[in-house]
Amino acid sequence: MNKIHSLDRLRNFRQGIIDQRKKFAATMIICGGTGCQASRSKDVIEAIQNELASQGLTEKVHVRATGCHGFCEQGPILVIEPGNIFYCHLTPEDAQEIVSKTIQKNEIIERLQYKDPVSGNRILTEAEIPFYRAQNRLLLSMNRLVNPGDIEDYIAIGGYSALGKTLAELSPDAVIQEITAAGLRGRGGGGFPTGKKWTETRNADGDEKYVICNADEGDPGAYMDRCVLEGNPHLVIEGMMIGAWAVGAFKGYIYVRNEYPLAVKNTRIAIQQARDLGILGENIFGSSFSFDIEIARGGGAFVCGESTALMASIEGKVGEPRAKDVHTAVDGLWHKPTTLNNVETWANVPAIIHNGSAWFAAMGSKGSKGTKILALTGHIKNTGLVEVEMGTTLNSVVFDIGGGSSDGKAVKAVQTGGPSGGCLPVDKFHLPVDFDELYAAGSMIGSGGFVVMGQNTCMVDVAKYFLTFLQDESCGKCVPCRLGIDRMLEIVTDITEGRGKPEQLDLLEELGATTSETSLCGLGKTAANPALSTLRYFREEYEAHIHNKKCPAGMCQALITYQIDSETCTACGACMTACPYKAITGEKKQIPTIQLELCQKCGICRSECKFESIQVN
Amino acid sequence: MPQTTLDTILDGRRSQPHQLIEVLQDVQAQNGYISEEAMRAVSKELGVTLLEVYRVASFYKAFSLSPRGKNVITVCTGTACHVRGAKLLINQATAQIGVETGKMSADGLFTIENVNCLGACALGPVVTTNTDYHHHMSPGKMRKLIKSYQKNNKEEAANE
Amino acid sequence: MTEKVSVTIDGAIIRAPKGLSILDAALDHGICIPHLCRVPAISDLGACRLCIVEHIQNGRSKVTTSCTLVVKEGMVIHSNTEKIKRLRRNIAELLVAEAPNSRAVQDVAMRCGVKEVRYPFRNNNCILCGRCVRICTGRLGEKAIGFVGRGMDRRVVAPFDLKSKLCRECGWCSDLCPMTMTPCGGPMHKGQERLCTNCESKQTSLDQMTGYCVACYFGKGFQCERHPERFTGIEE
């Protein structure tokens, strides 16, 4: 392949791709992200390609297998352009009908259309779907324009031109100035001003400097980094290159979770393609800038989201954080100055350089600029990735985009920011998605996981869940984190199992404060947030467990018993088949009984009963 | 594991201590677990002390130090899957197979594991068996899934 | 001659050689900041967190461990504020609840003002201070033992949990281990989560001498090198 060694070549190369694609009358965009692959989108893509071939349309219709669109719940998803026609829940068997009706005759197939769960109406185009309508999909919208395995797609939409502009026109200081003026803050959780970080690395002594992309999205309930890296790896690479130019780095690492096999694969391909075209390598676009990227796969440790632990892991060591009295921007990977940013942060860089800082700074709230991708999940109608302008209220996210609670009951809370964040009750939903405002309310944006919780969720159990997670993920190096989390978990477990004492709530608060203040790294410093925020906003639930020995949500196994409601039970026997402990017995066509001494209160019978006849006392 | 496999994995990485995690990832993928013998070999070839290899292998969750079952059932216990009942799936699998998470079943057929997030939160609860994804799981679907593996295994045994 | 910098610790201006930690600088000048995981002259971990201090920067205070904080010209440090005392007491309480069966840990807890322990006692054999690991890998360069596993599984062992071939049985690890010190005979059992009255009576005098070396009863191999003469005849 010919290398692109100048900006003119890049422009010509791009024009060539565009010209070559003029022959296509239509484009079929099919999501091939992890979520849709789980719903067999690979088979759908293959079926559509076969169908186009058999109807002789291969030269007229362009099939683009893209990364994640963020609406995984509806997968596999197909968008047909022109027309923006949106089909969802596809199966390979639908391919024939789609090609012969919609592609050939412009006929719409109603049963494949999206049905709005709020209004019940069928919706024709992607743009009209309420889930998408209330969003501002700066980064995510690009995913549908590119096949992550094809660098030509990315160049066709203007990719690497921001890098070209940087190398031709902007000095490193000018780049940093743009990023600073844009007000970009780290999307990984801390919200640290990106420009400030870059300045520190740029000003640090030494010629050997590094940039790192953190794609170790360990936060359970968040997957925007997977989506961006998997769906548009070149965007992240371009952002890293601009950053490397600014700070003076010659080498970059992408630290990606091994639990994201598709992201690893797509990034590998992207790096290789960029190398083949000379976009990564020596004297990029004929400039003095040389740069290359290597992939490091994470080993499955949440603590490696902490910068010092992540760097230790890239060095091939145990991911234990160290004291950070000197920032990693100055003393980082192999003790060299290192700029570490998260996937979403890097992905924002090319557009800022391309459109200017004023364009970016015009979006968002006072202290938080631009957009943020949130992973909206849990007990909610529309789940998926949503990208909203900073400053959008939680109400708008949960109700306008998410469509409200999935079971029709009231929403109880939203958990934001994963294990480092907290739970916010409905009366805080007027708060905006903003680094500082959510922090002040005892939570944080974190990496952007938004888990909506309904009435069946016990908030003490939520605290226990996160503490269990953190106990498992703490590296164990420092006392407040290792023992503090363990003792907090001990207290919360006591409460959920009916042994709680009123004075333990004060102890929990004091211990939480100590852990936050004195832990070595960010994991420990934020570990108490889920417990403290639930205690702050849902203290009455804790008290019900302690004083009345009751779990109001009916979740805590030790405090409940199951019973079969003879009025609604149809004696179908599903619960008897379902119970793995054989604790439900009875004759055929008779209402069964639960043998309390055998019952493990696992809740499987309740989830399998179609008539809601298993009651919790 | 065969020496040739290890040689392929180590190719181009010898005497590069920072490749330790990458090498162990590949050993894990090839072999299903990391044996003492493999650790000793990796230590020698990469020039990393045995202590450091053991520390790394025991620290990261991706590495298993004992053999795993023929089928690895991984239940996602990320927040989104948790609130949609991932715990029920673990209850179902452990009770049905009769083995706790992280251990291999007596017949060597299964290991049940939990993972903190697979990044398919919108489809939760999610389970993977080996490399296949299963979305919107329920205890009932889990029961059938496990049964299908048990049945397949019996048929394979009968055919041999 | 080594270059020196001036730092202020608890109001006292101290001239300390460049590269020294705040903890060492304080100890050298008779200001006793409680500490446990520190091994003199070996790189510090920051694991026990007992040596926390408030570091004042641009008018804002940051809690950090003094053993990992390197002296810098003009630094302002407070080692004994109400906030630090409260946090330190809570950490010591966590530690002593884990291992009330060690005199060293008891002493540290007492020194940090712990009277009652609000968690059930556990009588662990190891508090993961890492003193043994650092003497083995740091000073002796043997790398026979190390931290293995993570979180609650973290433990100090040799590879594969067997005895390492690299061990020369020099015994430094057990000399430095706080768990080898026989505890006092106070009520140290589950259900009696208190330190004994003996400790409490000492507490009163400690309260009046905060911030100064009190020559606490750390045993052989464990003493901070401030007053070695006081340890020649160890009181039992």
Quick one: CA torsion of A188, A191, A193, A196, rounded to 10 degrees?
Answer: -70
Flag if B120 and A469 touch (Cβ within 8 Å). Answer: no
Nearest to C131 by CA among C221, C53, C204: C221
Q: Does C59 touch chain A (CB under 8 A)?
A: no
Q: Looking up tokens 């201090």, which residue turns up? A: C53
> Phi/psi of residue C147, each to 5°?
-75, 130
pLDDT for residue C42: 81
By Cβ distance, the residue of C47, C70, C90 closest to A514 is C90
* pLDDT of C56 strictly over 50: yes
Flag if C149 and B53 touch (Cβ within 8 Å). Answer: no
* pLDDT of C215 strictly over 80: no
Three-state secondary structure of A28-94: EEEECCHHHHHCCHHHHHHHHHHHHHHCCCCCCEEEEEECCCCCHHHCCCEEEECCCEEECCCCHHH
CB atoms within 10 A of CB A324: 16
Question: If pLDDT is split at 50, 70 and 90, which confidence band does C233 have?
Answer: very low
Flag if C148 and B52 touch (Cβ within 8 Å). Answer: no
Tell me: do A542 and A611 sit in the same domain.
no
pLDDT for residue A70: 86
Q: Looking up tokens 């004083």, which residue turns up? A: A547
**What angle (nearest 5°) sits at the alpha carbon of residue C16, between those of residues C12 and C18?**
140
By Cβ distance, the residue of A218, A301, A457 closest to B83 is A457
Q: Looking up tokens 């992939």, which residue turns up? A: A295
* pLDDT of C30 strictly over 90: no
Within 8 A of A581 by CB-CB distance, chain B residues are 95
* B36: helix, strand or coil: helix
Any chains having at least 3 CB pairs less than 8 A from chain B are A, C
Tell me: do A275 and A207 sit in the same domain.
yes
Tell me: do A539 and A566 sit in the same domain.
no
pLDDT for residue A157: 94
Tell me: do A233 and A308 sit in the same domain.
yes
Asked if residue A13 is part of any domain, the answer here is no
By Cβ distance, the residue of C47, C64, C118 closest to A479 is C47
Q: How many angstroms separate the CA atoms of A240 and A333, rounded?
A: 16
Tell me: do A76 and A191 sit in the same domain.
no
pLDDT for residue A507: 96
Closest residue, chain A, to B29 (C-alpha) = A258
By Cβ distance, the residue of A325, A473, A490 closest to C151 is A473
Q: ipTM, 2 decimals? A: 0.91
Nearest to A32 by CA among A341, A307, A262: A262
Q: Does B36 touch chain C (CB under 8 A)?
A: yes
Q: How many angstroms separate the CA atoms of B139 and A514, rounded?
A: 40
Higher pLDDT, C199 or A597: A597
Determine contact, residues A338/A298, Cβ cutoff 8 Å: no
Determine contact, residues A583/A599, Cβ cutoff 8 Å: yes
pLDDT for residue B105: 93
CATH code for C131-179?
A: 3.30.70.20
Asked if residue A394 is part of any domain, the answer here is yes
Nearest to A475 by CA among A250, A265, A310, A342: A310
By Cβ distance, the residue of A473, A478, A487 closest to C49 is A478
Stretch (H or E) spanning B115: strand B110-115
pLDDT for residue C182: 73
Tell me: do A158 and A271 sit in the same domain.
yes
Q: How many angstroms separate the CA atoms of A57 and B4, rounded?
A: 47
Flag if B58 and C160 touch (Cβ within 8 Å). Answer: no
- Is the peptide bond between C178 and the residue preceding it cis, with omega within 30 degrees of 0? no
Provide the residue ranges of all domains of chain C, joining segments of one domain with +: 1-80, 131-179
Q: Residue A320: which CATH number?
A: 3.40.50.11540
Flag if C146 and B51 touch (Cβ within 8 Å). Answer: yes
By Cβ distance, the residue of C86, C127, C151 closest to A475 is C151
Q: Does B72 touch chain A (CB under 8 A)?
A: no
Tell me: do A205 and A268 sit in the same domain.
yes
pLDDT for residue C220: 42
Q: Looking up tokens 């397949």, which residue turns up? A: B152
Nearest to A344 by CA among A375, A379, A318, A366: A375
Tell me: do A375 and A514 sit in the same domain.
no
Three-state secondary structure of A81-119: ECCCEEECCCCHHHHHHHHHHHHHHCCCCHHHEEECCCC
Please identify every stretch of chain B with a pLDDT value under 50, giving residue numbers as ranges.
none
Please identify every stretch of chain A with a pLDDT value under 70, giving residue numbers as ranges.
1
pLDDT for residue C217: 52
Quick one: CA torsion of B87, B92, B94, B98, rounded to 10 degrees?
Answer: 160
Q: How far is A170 from chain B (nearest CA, A)?
A: 35
pLDDT for residue C186: 63
Within 8 A of C158 by CB-CB distance, chain B residues are 51
- Is the peptide bond between B2 and the residue preceding it cis, with omega within 30 degrees of 0? no
Q: How far is A317 from chain C (nearest CA, A)?
A: 12
Q: How many angstroms separate the CA atoms of A260 and C156, rounded?
A: 32
Within 8 A of C141 by CB-CB distance, chain B residues are none
Tell me: do A180 and A297 sit in the same domain.
yes
* C164: helix, strand or coil: coil
Nearest to A410 by CA among A429, A392, A393, A391: A429
Q: How far is CA C55 from CA A162, A200, A523, in A?
A: 42, 21, 21
Q: Residue A100: which CATH number?
A: 3.40.30.10
Q: Which domain holds residue A509?
A: 459-547
Farthest-apart Cα atoms in chain A, separation:
82
Closest residue, chain B, to A301 (C-alpha) = B60
Nearest to B34 by CA among B16, B17, B55: B55
Tell me: do A328 and A386 sit in the same domain.
no
Tell me: do A169 and A230 sit in the same domain.
yes
Q: How far is B40 from chain C (nearest CA, A)?
A: 10
* pLDDT of C199 strictly over 70: no
Q: How many angstroms separate the CA atoms of A331 and A333, rounded?
A: 7
Give the strand pairing for B132-134 and B127-129. Answer: antiparallel
Flag if C152 and A486 touch (Cβ within 8 Å). Answer: yes
Angle A224-231/A233-247 helices, nearest 10 degrees?
90
Question: If pLDDT is split at 50, 70 and 90, which confidence band does C203 have?
Answer: low
Quick one: CA torsion of B81, B86, B87, B93, rounded to 10 degrees?
Answer: -160
Tell me: do A122 and A222 sit in the same domain.
no
Q: How many angstroms separate the CA atoms of A524 and A501, rounded?
A: 25
Closest residue, chain B, to A222 (C-alpha) = B119
Question: If pLDDT is split at 50, 70 and 90, which confidence band does C100 have?
Answer: confident
Quick one: CA torsion of B122, B128, B134, B137, rounded to 10 degrees?
Answer: -80
Domain B3-59 bears CATH identifier 1.10.10: yes
pLDDT for residue A167: 96
Asked if residue A555 is part of any domain, the answer here is no
Q: How many domains does chain A have?
A: 5
> Phi/psi of residue B155, each to 5°?
-65, -40
Q: How many angstroms separate the CA atoms of A446 and A451, rounded?
A: 12
> Phi/psi of residue A376, each to 5°?
-90, 110
Q: How far is A500 from chain B (nearest CA, A)?
A: 23
pLDDT in tens, C162-195: 888 888 888 888 888 888 877 766 656 666 777 6
Flag if B51 and C145 touch (Cβ within 8 Å). Answer: yes
Asked if residue A340 is part of any domain, the answer here is yes
Indicate which of B34, B37, B51, B63 best probes the interface with C, i.e. most C CBs within 10 Å of its own CB: B51
Q: Does C119 touch chain A (CB under 8 A)?
A: yes
What's the average model confidence in pLDDT over C60-86?
A: 94
Closest residue, chain B, to A313 (C-alpha) = B21
Q: Does A505 touch chain C (CB under 8 A)?
A: no
Within 8 A of A476 by CB-CB distance, chain C residues are 128, 147, 149-154
Residue A239 C-alpha from the chain's centroid: 19
Q: How far is A320 from chain C (nearest CA, A)?
A: 9
Q: Looking at the domain C1-80, which fold is it? A: Ubiquitin-like (UB roll) (3.10.20)
Closest residue, chain B, to A38 (C-alpha) = B133
Within 8 A of B34 by CB-CB distance, chain C residues are none
What's the average model confidence in pLDDT over C113-123?
A: 87
Domain B71-159 bears CATH identifier 3.40.30.10: yes
Q: Does A487 touch chain C (CB under 8 A)?
A: yes
Any chains having at least 3 CB pairs less than 8 A from chain C are A, B
